[in-house]
Amino acid sequence: MAMLISRDAVCNHAVTQASLCLFVVFSCVAAYTQPTLSVPADSPRWQLQGQATLSEFQGRKSLLLDGGAAVLKDFELRDGVIDVDVATTATRRGFVGIMFRIVNDGAEAEEVYLRPHKSGLPDAMQYTPVLNGGRNWQIYNGPGFTSAVDIPKNEWFHVRLEVAGAQAKFYLNDMQKPALVMNDLKSGVQKGQLALYTLIGATYFTNFEVRTTPDAPWERHLPPMPPNTLVKWRLSPAYDALTRDLERPLTPEERDSIQWQEVEAEPPGFVVINRFREPPHMTSTFETDFSKRLEPQPGMKMVYAWTNVEADRDQLKKLSIGYSDEVSVFLNGNILFRGRAAQGFREPGFLGIMSPEDDAVYLPLKKGSNEIILAVSEIGGGWGFICRLADLKLSPADK
């Protein structure tokens, strides 16, 4: 299995506060319970990567991870329950978690993790899918994805992850009330490996147990698609953003020369570009030095997204748009809007969470067909966009 944690990945995600940390996996169903697999910290079944060692904390033999991972060898899980004891000594930022249903050398997976430095805050813990090797915490946020939880420090606490079909529940200390209910696991992976890991923040793991459970029905619990969401799009290949003038519209000849891929938004309207294109793996210069926020960012990628809408008359309509990380909006060959919302760009501590309420632009639509093209750029944390066009009766082809 490829490295889940590399030095570059540690630096990148430590700075981007992307994902990390701690999670434990596997599902429930008391009936027909399979035998429990207990894996001691010193077991040869752990494949250690990065900064991962056998250690001891408060008299308990444990795995110490600090920018490292422990992958359970020769084991795959669809549904089941994972239990593990955890102690974190992270003094500043920390990301501690478990990846589960890992396939393709970690390019696709599910993960749930803790942010000890955000204990008690609404995003103290987070679930995100890994898609094409990229985490998506800026896109998948809020109920079902993030939750407030108190995370003890310098003491042992117990966590449990139950996975059943397309749902999962995460518990911390209180085994009766889940700290986070994941109503719809997003990677689409049904079975794979699992790993404990931290991106940053020294954390100890011990008393690891996992048991498989009978396969639960694969029932997705999706939110409704809001009205006036622009659903049908075409995506270009990914380009090096520094080779493109992101504020110049495509000429008709350039547009027609591109090999477009038809895609659709997923409820509640997200076009998650990471599902279709490999995201960049980089660290922005301004995450540690705000004065560099206007500098070119080597490694940044971009795509064009194209759709058409029909208007029954000339009219001015509000386009609500969320995006990660940057966007230019072109209408009928003219630029109308340029927005930048990468983590840390607008102000220190800015997270860049994607929402249709991020920004808005008023489109002067003409009667008939109108061409909307977006140039969407990405640094890290989730590549995507969402568009809603107010009070416009869309034809079936536009929805």
Compute the distance between CA of residue 297 and CA of residue 302 in angstroms, rounded to an integer.
12
Binning pLDDT at 50, 70 and 90, where does residue 12 land? Answer: very low
Q: What is the pLDDT of residue 348?
A: 87
Domain span(s) for CATH 2.60.120.560 in the chain:
7-212
- Using the CB atoms, write b or e for 316-328: b if 16+ within 10 Å: ebebbbbbbbbbb
* CATH number 2.60.120 is the correct assignment for the domain at 232-389: yes
Q: What is the pLDDT of residue 32?
A: 47
- Mean pLDDT in residue range 33-49: 92
Q: What percentage of the chain reaches a pLDDT higher than 90?
A: 82
Q: What percentage of the chain reaches a pLDDT higher than 70?
A: 89
Q: Is 194 helix (H, G, I), strand (E, B) or coil?
A: strand
- Mean pLDDT in residue range 179-204: 97
Binning pLDDT at 50, 70 and 90, where does residue 15 land? Answer: very low
Q: What is the pLDDT of residue 291?
A: 86
Non-local CB neighbours of 135 within 8 Å, separated by 6+ positions: 13, 18, 19, 111, 128, 380, 381, 382
C-alpha pair distances (Å), 244 with each of 239, 329, 362: 8, 15, 25
Q: What is the pLDDT of residue 24?
A: 34
Binning pLDDT at 50, 70 and 90, where does residue 5 land? Answer: low
C-alpha pair distances (Å), 264 with each of 149, 305, 369, 385: 34, 11, 19, 12
CATH ID of 7-212, from 3.90.1210.10, 2.40.160.20, 2.60.120.560, 3.40.50.460: 2.60.120.560
Q: What is the pLDDT of residue 67?
A: 95
329 pLDDT more than 80: yes
Helix or strand (DSSP H, E) at 10: helix 7-16
Binning pLDDT at 50, 70 and 90, where does residue 6 land? Answer: very low
**Lowest-pLDDT choice from 43-57, 203-217, 384-398:** 384-398
226 pLDDT more than 70: yes
Compute the distance between CA of residue 84 and CA of residue 374 in angstroms, rounded to an integer.
45
- Mean pLDDT in residue range 53-67: 98
13 pLDDT more than 50: no
- Mean pLDDT in residue range 358-364: 96
